[in-house]
Amino acid sequence: MTDPLPDHAPLRVAVLGAGTVGADVLRVIRTSADALTHRIGAPLEVTGIAVTDLARDRGEHVDRRLLTDDPALAIRDADIVVELMGGIEPARTLLLEAMAHGASVVTANKALLAKDGVALYEAADANGVDLHFEAAVAGAIPLVRPIRESLAGDHIQKVLGIVNGTTNYVLDAMTRTGASFDDALATAKELGYAEADPTADIEGHDAAAKAAILASLAFHTRVSLSDVHCEGITTVTPEDIAAAGRMGRVIKLLSIVERVEEEGTERVSARVYPAMLPDSHPLASVSEAYNAVFVEADAAGSLMFYGQGAGGAPTASAVLGDLVTVARQRVHGGFGPRESRYADLGIIPLDGLRNAFYVSLTVQDKPGVLAEVAGTLSSHGISISTIHQETVPAAEGDPERARIGIATYRALESALESALDDLDSSGAVLGIDSVIRIEGE
Ligand code: NDP
Ligand code: HSE
């Protein structure tokens, strides 16, 4: 026999957004109402659902009578506001207003957290309410809570992973099926993985926002979007993917945040870029829109988190976990973790780091060119690990051309930058086609 439902006044919940994620959150709130009531100790009552298009059909689980195109109205009198509309404004103003009225907030809005999380954390503190955002990083994967709570007693050194489902889907399709970039992106959009404006995905901004959130939590330091070096996947070509395959590597968009110690001073590096990983690396086999993240901590050692990083239902799972948590706290008392920023570490710019690189050049196919390229790299202290050359078909009458793919050992980013400038101005080098970092070796 199941326990009787708790006899507690309902908690009023406003849901801002009933799109890919919002619709799934509303579905579960409705279809699992009794189970959620038992887990929380009180029923959830959705009192308002904000959308822009009141006419659109949203299926049986979205109660049309609760729809409004005035989100300010929806949040009035709410105990909990679940923000799933995305974007900076009006989301920012609405959440600040909701917290000022005493509502706790659950949001999946990484763009807002990375750009202006400080205002939200401070408002949560000032008003004594909760701010939870598990869904903002890596979809369904529990990652924010493990870093913020389970590892709160450990010392995290590095977080490295694939945290954008759309770009992983696109790169995976290009690698495995030879799909075009545009076709793969169109499918990722149809499947609900991409942001409303998928530029945020393919240019790396979404992964950078997640990197900023992870770095802030892992290193107890305020890290914002502008602190993250960000490169997307729009420059990755089928030739790069083929070159990676030839070398036993695969290209993935990585988010990396780590402590870097130099002369006794610790700083934080936060960066997002496409990188070649060896086929044997655990992240190399992460396919479709799956995400996977490694966390390295002094005592825990290496931890790996893996799961669905995007999509309505997986993301709704993380949102609902937060919703149950904040709802329980409204019923039983207590607060979730506050912002922790005591360490206040500086940010190390990318050019101070050492990385290995793959560089693809189109050159004149004539004696001495390879020696000149190797000499230029060597003059900047860059050592070559492997080299591959192939002839590029030239139009009749054009000079013979070749494409050289060079993998280097680790070198300073600033040294590679200078070497590329020299190569660019050398007569023998007709073009620098690609520069991709090599990680995981
Ligand atoms: P969608 O674009 O599918 O849905 C957004 C919803 O918000 C829509 O219902 C839209 O209304 C509504 N909305 C937007 N602006 C306003 C406004 N000014 N006033 C009222 N309603 C508004 O987005 P997603 O569901 O994909 O994403 C929601 C949030 O979750 C974003 O922050 C996103 O970054 C995050 N997220 C998304 C994931 C995913 O896989 N999709 C995964 C993890 C996080 P209407 O329906 O009328 O257009
Ligand atoms: N657009 C995001 C992605 C959604 O593709 O990963 C999940 O945050």
Regarding whether 377 and 298 lie in a shared domain, the answer is: no
Question: Within a domain: residue 1?
Answer: no
In a domain, residue 145? The reply is: no
Give the Cα separation of 239 and 142 in Å (integer).
36
Q: H or E segment at 433?
A: strand 429-438
pLDDT at 2: 80
Instruction: Please list every protein residue whose CB sits less than 6 Å from any atom of ligand 1.
Output: 17-22, 50-53, 56, 71, 84-86, 90, 108-110, 135, 139, 192-193, 195-196, 310-311, 315
Cβ 319 vs Cβ 134: under 8 Å:
yes
| Number of domains observed in the structure of the chain | 3
Q: Report the alpha-carbon distance of residue 131 to residue 121 in Å, rounded.
A: 7
293 and 406 in a single domain? The answer is no
**Does residue 189 have a pLDDT over 70?**
yes
Spatial separation of the C-alpha atoms in residues 423 and 419, rounded to whole Å: 6
Whether 184 and 114 map to the same domain: the answer is no
Q: What spacing in Å lies between the alpha carbon of 289 and ligand 2's midpoint?
A: 8
Domain of 383, in residue numbers: 352-438
From 300, 332, 364, the end of a domain falls on 332
Indicate the pLDDT class of residue 33, thresholds 50, 70 and 90: very high
* pLDDT tens-digit readout, 286-298: 999 999 999 999 9
Q: Quote the Cα angle for 100-105-107, to 5°.
A: 135
Instruction: Looking at the structure, tell me whether residues 46 and 131 fall in a common domain.
Output: yes
Rounded distance between C-alpha atoms, residue 388 and residue 319, angstroms: 48
**% pLDDT > 70, the chain:** 100
Same-domain check for residues 107 and 218: no
| 430 annotated as belonging to a binding site for a ligand | no
Q: Looking at residue 1, what is its pLDDT?
A: 65
- How many CB atoms within 10 Å of residue 2? 7
pLDDT at position 357, please?
98
**Residue 174's closest CA among 222, 243, 221, 83?**
243
Q: CA–CA separation, 430 vs 423, rounded Å?
A: 9
Q: Are residues 158 and 303 in the same domain?
A: yes
Query: From the CA of 103, how far away is ligand 1's center (Å)?
Result: 20
Whether 210 is catalytic is: yes
> Which of 130, 121, 203 shows the shortest CA–CA distance to 164?
203
Determine contact, residues 300/151, Cβ cutoff 8 Å.
Answer: yes
Residue in the structure block whose two tokens are 């009180």: 42
Same domain, 363 and 284: no
Residue 126 lies in a domain: yes
**Contact (Cβ atoms closer than 8 angstroms) between residue 398 and residue 357:** no
Supply the CATH number for residue 398's domain.
Answer: 3.30.70.260
Dist. CA 345–CA 333, nearest whole Å: 33
Q: In what order do the strands lie in the sheet with 67-68?
A: 67-68, 44-50, 11-16, 80-83, 104-107, 131-132
Measure the CA–CA gap between 125 and 253, rounded to whole angstroms.
35
In a domain, 6, yes or no: no
Which DSSP string do the residues of 331-343 spell out, in sequence order? HH---------TT
pLDDT in tens, 88-114: 999 999 999 999 999 999 999 999 999
Q: Which two tokens stand for residue 434?
A: 């690609």
The pLDDT score that the predictor gives to residue 342 is 97
- Whether 219 and 159 map to the same domain: the answer is yes
C-alpha 372/C-alpha 428 separation (Å) is 8
Q: What's at 340, amino acid-wise?
A: S
The tokens of 203 are what?
Answer: 């240019």
Structural domain includes residue 23: yes
How confident is residue 333, by pLDDT bands cut at 50, 70 and 90?
A: very high
Q: Is the pLDDT score of 175 beyond 70?
A: yes
Task: Please state, in angstroms and rounded to a whole number, the distance separating the CA atoms of residues 131 and 338.
Answer: 8
pLDDT at 120: 98
Does the structure show a pLDDT above 90 at 397? no
> Sorting pLDDT into bands at 50, 70 and 90, what band is 398?
confident
Separation of CA 373 and ligand 2 centre (Å):
40
Helices (H), 128-198: 144-145, 165-176, 181-190
Residues 158 and 295 in one domain: yes
What are 258's two structure tokens? 């780590």
Mean pLDDT calculated for residue range 403-429: 96
User: Is 376 known as a binding-site position?
Assistant: no
Task: Judge whether 405 and 243 are in contact, CB under 8 Å.
Answer: yes
Q: What is the CA radius of gyration of the chain?
A: 25
Q: What is the mean pLDDT of residues 300-311?
A: 97
277 and 173 within one domain: yes
pLDDT number for residue 167: 98
Is 341 among the domain residues?
no
Distance from residue 386's CA to the centre of ligand 2 (Å) = 35
pLDDT of residue 181: 97
CATH number for the domain including 112? Answer: 3.40.50.720
Residue closest by Cα to atom 3 of ligand 1 = 19
**366 occurs within a structural domain:** yes
Structure-token pair, residue 316: 């709704």
22 carries a ligand binding annotation: yes
pLDDT at 40: 98
Structural domain ending residue among the three candidates 308, 343, 367: 308
Band of residue 393 on the pLDDT scale cut at 50, 70, 90 = confident
* 116 inside domain: yes
Q: How many helices (H) does the chain have, and how many strands (E)?
A: 14, 18
Inter-residue contact 204 to 168 (CB < 8 Å): no
CA distance 320 to 80: 12
Question: Looking at ligand 1, which residue's alpha carbon is closest to its atom 31?
Answer: 86
pLDDT of residue 39: 97
Residue 326 clears pLDDT 70, i.e. is over it? yes
Residues 194, 243 within the same domain: yes
Q: Tens digits of per-residue pLDDT, 246-293? A: 999 999 999 999 999 988 999 999 999 999 999 999 999 999 999 999
Same domain, 186 and 319: no
What pLDDT digit, counting tens, does each position of 335-353 carry?
Answer: 999 999 999 999 999 999 9
Tell me the sheet residues that pair with 107.
Answer: 83
Q: Is 292 exposed, middle or buried (0-12, 13-18, 19+ CB in 10 A)?
A: buried
Residue 91 confidence (pLDDT): 98
Ligand 2 atom nearest 110 alpha carbon: 8
The tokens for 33 are 């109402």
